[in-house]
Structures are given as C-alpha cells and as structure tokens.
Chain A
Amino acid sequence: MAYSSEISRTQPACILLLIDQSGSMDDPFGGQGGTRKKAEGVADVTNRLVQNLVVRCAREEGIRDYFHLGVLGYGEKVGSAFSGALAGRGLVPISAVGHAPARLEERTREREDGMGGLVREKVRFPIWVEPHAHGPTPMCEVLLRARELVTAWMREHPESFPPIVVNISDGEPTDGDPTEGAAGLRSVRGADGEVLLLNVHLSSNPAVPIQFPDAETHLPDAHARRLFSLSSPLTQGMLAAARDEGHAVREGARGFVFNADILSLIKFLNIGTRPSNLR
C-alpha cells in the first residue's frame, strides 16, 4: 500500500517548502483591512512548520533525523531561503536545521492552564526564514528546481515515504502555467508512492478560510482554483489526520488550503505513537 512507509532514522522522510517571495507579498494578508503583510505571513507559517518538525524529532539525546528539510524561495531569485548558518543549503537533516536557526526571537504565547483559563508565557521562537517581497513569481521555475531536488533525494531513499512539497504562495505565477511543472513534480515516485504536492494559498481576498476542499466550485478566484488543481489528493493517513483535527473532509479532498494553516497535514506523519490527548 502506498504512503505506508515507516518514518525512521534509517528511512527518513523529505519535506520541501516552496515560498513565494515576490513583490506582491508586500500586500496585506486577508485584504486591505489586514494589518500584516503576506510576506510576514509566509515567513511565519514557514518558521512554525519548521519549528513543529524539529520539536517532533526532539528526544532526550538531541534531534533524531526523521526528516530532511529544505526551503526554496522564489521571487527575485529562485534558491535556498534559509538565512543564517544554513544559507544556500538545499535539503538538510532536521537535526542540523534544529541546531542552526538564524536567531531566536522572544515571543509571548497564551496557553491553556488545564483549568479553563489561559496563562501567558514567554517562549523562544526560532527564525530560519525572513520575510522577502521582491520581483516576479517564478513558480514554474521553482517547481522545476523542486523536482530536481526531490528526484535526487528519492534516488538516495527509494523506500522512504515519498517527499512532501508544500508550496506557500498568493497564487499568481509570472512565468507561465505551472500545471505541467506541478504534474512533473508529482510524477516523481519511489517504492511507496509519488511525491505529494500541497498548496497553501495566502490571498488578499478576505474570503473565509477553506481547508482541504474536494471540488473547486466554492473557491473564490481563478488563482485559488488553479492552486487547487495542482494539489495532490490527500492520502488515507492525511484524511484520517484531518478528521482527527476536526475537519469534515471527504474522499477526493486535496492538499490545498486557502488563507489557512497546513500544520495539521504535517502532523499526520507518524513517527511513533501520537497520543490523542496531545494537541
């Protein structure tokens, strides 16, 4: 059965994030009323995804290399979006990622205290990727680059869970129709199935968030519909994880979210028992 490979240190999984760093990322997120720029939203989503993966791999003795991770930016140039010590690197073992954030920001977070209240606590928030918003949106080019990276990786890890590519964008490519590039990327396969391409659409359209639709009929614009069409159907594991998180997903649902978080789909990757009371 496809998408059932165990994720282990001897058989790691690969996650490659593609982040839109074009000029349009200077626009406010969620419409003119929005107070944050999309570029900040992208950087935030990316840093939280990376942090989540590192923490999931943390054990008493350090960070276990259950994943190899890369971040490609596309805007003025196409290439590694890591800043700090990892600048310029492609796919990196997650332990190296965890040990080398560019910096640690201090943030305040609210957490449930278990008695119905909230407590505020200071946390250190690691930053690997900074907001950028310059130039065009070469999505076709980044899909091609992604294909090269995951093809080389798959050759080294033919039995592994297939690479997961997460494209975070506002959906307006400037270098042509990305349909073919996306199909080429999704066609890269190993023993356990084909590459999964998930898309996160951060839109200026203040429409309500949409997660894991199974048809494009309710999507608000052409860009959203196109990113939907590029997205892989959710695997059985992803469907189950999405349902565990409270989403009413149907068979045929795609790995696509509109103005929403994709973290729940990364959480489904099983690297051992995950308690149901751990959120």
Chain B
Amino acid sequence: MRIALEVMGVQKDGNAPTENEDAAAPEHSAVLVEDSLHVAVADGATESLFSGLWARLLAREYATGQMREPSGLLQALPGLQRRWLAEVEGRELPWYAQEKLREGAFATVLGVSLARTPAGADGIVGTWSALAVGDSCLFQVRDARLVRSFPLELASSFGSRPFLVSTHGAQNARVAAQAREMTGEVRVGDTLLLMTDALAHWFLGEHERGGRPWLSLPGEDDRSAFESFVAGLRAARSLRNDDTTLMRLSVEA
C-alpha cells in the first residue's frame, strides 16, 4: 500500500511555535510503502501544564502500533503517565507550578491504523481502524464526497469541555467509556484527514453549509501555505484561534 502522508501544523496566533501543544506522529511528511501504518494527532489542553509533552507521548505511543483499541490505551497509560511524571518532577518548580502539576496534564488523542488487504475488484486495498478520546477528528473523503466523520459528526457537537486523557489515574476513570472506535475500508484515491478540534469544527461547518472543505486545504509542500490558509480563516473568524494540526493520508495504490 502506497500512502502519501502530509503533516501540517501551526500554533495559536499570539503564541510562539514552542508553545504549540498539538502533536502529530509521525511528525514529518513522507511517502510510505507499508503493509500497515499507524498515525496519530493529539491536542494538549491549554489549561494544563506540560500538556504538549503529554500530547507527544500519546501520539508517539499510538504510532508504535501498541494501543490500537481502548484496552491497548488502558494498558499503555500507566507507563506513559510515569514517563510524563519523570520528565516534569525532576524540575525545581515554583509554588504555582507544583499546585498545577497536582491537576495533571490533559490531551485528546486520535489514532488511525491502516492495514493492507488483497486488492479487490472494487478498488479496496485496505482497512482503517480509528481510536479517539476527545474532539480531534478523522474524515474520509472518496469521490468528492465526505463518507465518514469520526468521532464527531456535527459542528454543533464541539463544546469547550471535552473529556480528555489525563496524566493522573484519578482523572481517567471514564477513559474506557469515553474512548470511541471505528473501522472502514480504503480504496485507491481515498483521502483520510486527521484534524485537531478547531480545524475539524470549521471543516464540518463548511460541509454542513454544502461546501467541499477538503478542496480548500493546502498541501504540505511549504509550511507558509498552511500558515496563511489558517491565518485567513482566523482573520475571517471562521476558525477558532487555537493550535491547529492537519494530517492527510492519500491512498495511492
């Protein structure tokens, strides 16, 4: 299976690039020829401390292929939580950071796995499976139509308080219940789009208004194209000012 993978991201306007709390794994675009492929985006919550680090840990863990369903996520969490704590606890922190660390860090995670299947007459070359906690979304586009939207299907479903995966076990009691799974098939020519919440919200809204927003999304060939695309939507108040990440998988053969 030949997949063109494009990864684009830009931080919230007014923030430095180092303050971007979104994560993607893999982090760079590539053309991949594999029998299976695992990719993920994650979105660290602005209101928690070291949440960008937590988002990177979650996305990278998914991309290793070890946590493809909720049970895998539950198994992976204790180890990831320890790694996060080990990275942040060694630091000399002022009182407010110590207080905030007690709350833990929070992030969404959306992972998508592709697996090759024997080519069928109807052009099917593989299957996808997705795992999501929170409001980062996957969209599947085929023949100029949006055929799948996961885990949210309506622009109105986005709230300001999604359930997120935490570094603190006490906050994760409902993770298994909140995790969503979905599977589907891929054909040559399909496009899978992974987006963090602000862009996903715009995408669904545009689609509900009868648009074909996937046609507006720039390619990754230069970073500035994505930055100006996002800046334009923000200026028009069509896109919430937030860290924004887009991953596109184009199924080539």
Q: A: which residues have CB within 8 A of B?
A: 6, 8-10, 51, 54-56, 58-61, 63, 98-99, 101, 104, 111-115, 123-124, 126, 244, 270-278
Contact call A6/B100, Cβ cutoff below 8 A = no
Extra contacts, 4 of them, besides A55-B99, A277-B172 (Cβ < 8 A), are: A272-B46, A275-B166, A277-B164, A278-B103
Indicate whether A113 sits within 8 Å of B170 (C-beta atoms), given known contacts A60-B49, A274-B45.
yes
Name the one of A60, A104, A114, A115 contacting B50, with C-beta atoms under 8 angstroms. Answer: A60
Within 8 A of A (CB), among B84-137: 94-100, 102-104, 106
Indicate whether A56 sits within 8 Å of B95 (C-beta atoms), given known contacts A273-B162, A275-B162, A277-B171.
no
Contact call A275/B48, Cβ cutoff below 8 A = yes
Q: What are 12 A-to-B residue pairs whose CB atoms are below 8 Å? A: A56-B47, A114-B171, A126-B95, A272-B46, A272-B47, A273-B47, A273-B242, A274-B45, A274-B160, A275-B45, A276-B164, A278-B104
CA distance A273 to B96 in the complex (A): 19
| B14 in contact (CB, < 8 A) | yes
Contact call B46/A244, Cβ cutoff below 8 A = no
Contact call A277/B106, Cβ cutoff below 8 A = yes
* Chain A: minimal CB distance from B47 (Å): 5
| B169 in contact (CB, < 8 A) | yes
| B161 in contact (CB, < 8 A) | yes
The chain A residue sitting closest to B162, CB to CB, is A276
* Chain B: minimal CB distance from A115 (Å): 8
* Chain A: minimal CB distance from B198 (Å): 10
Contact call A8/B164, Cβ cutoff below 8 A = no
Indicate whether A98 sits within 8 Å of B161 (C-beta atoms), given known contacts A10-B14, A111-B102.
no
Q: Considering only CB atoms and an 8 Å cut-off, how many residues of chain B contact the other chain?
A: 37
| B43 in contact (CB, < 8 A) | yes
| B163 in contact (CB, < 8 A) | yes
The chain A residue sitting closest to B173, CB to CB, is A114
Contact call A55/B100, Cβ cutoff below 8 A = yes
Q: Which of A8, A111, A271 has the largest number of chain B CB atoms within 10 A? A: A8
Contact call B168/A114, Cβ cutoff below 8 A = yes
The chain B residue sitting closest to A277, CB to CB, is B171
Q: B: which residues have CB within 8 A of A?
A: 14, 19, 43, 45-50, 52, 94-100, 102-104, 106, 160-164, 166, 168-174, 197, 241-242
CA distance A251 to B168 in the complex (A): 36
* Chain B: minimal CB distance from A118 (Å): 11
Name the one of B19, B47, B52, B169 contacting A275, with C-beta atoms under 8 angstroms. Answer: B47
Contact call B98/A124, Cβ cutoff below 8 A = yes
**Which chain B residues border A59 with CB–CB below 8 Å?**
19, 49
**Which chain B residues border A8 with CB–CB below 8 Å?**
14, 241
Contact call B163/A272, Cβ cutoff below 8 A = no
CA distance A114 to B47 in the complex (A): 21
The chain A residue sitting closest to B45, CB to CB, is A273
**Which chain A residues border B19 with CB–CB below 8 Å?**
59, 61
* Chain A: minimal CB distance from B99 (Å): 5
Contact call B98/A244, Cβ cutoff below 8 A = no
The chain B residue sitting closest to A54, CB to CB, is B96
**Which chain B residues border A113 with CB–CB below 8 Å?**
170
**Which chain A residues border B169 with CB–CB below 8 Å?**
114
Contact call B95/A124, Cβ cutoff below 8 A = yes
Q: Which of B14, B19, B46, B47 has the largest number of chain A CB atoms within 10 A? A: B47
CA distance A271 to B9 in the complex (A): 20
* Chain A: minimal CB distance from B209 (Å): 20
CA distance A112 to B50 in the complex (A): 22
* Chain B: minimal CB distance from A60 (Å): 6
Indicate whether A277 sits within 8 Å of B166 (C-beta atoms), given known contacts A58-B100, A272-B46.
yes
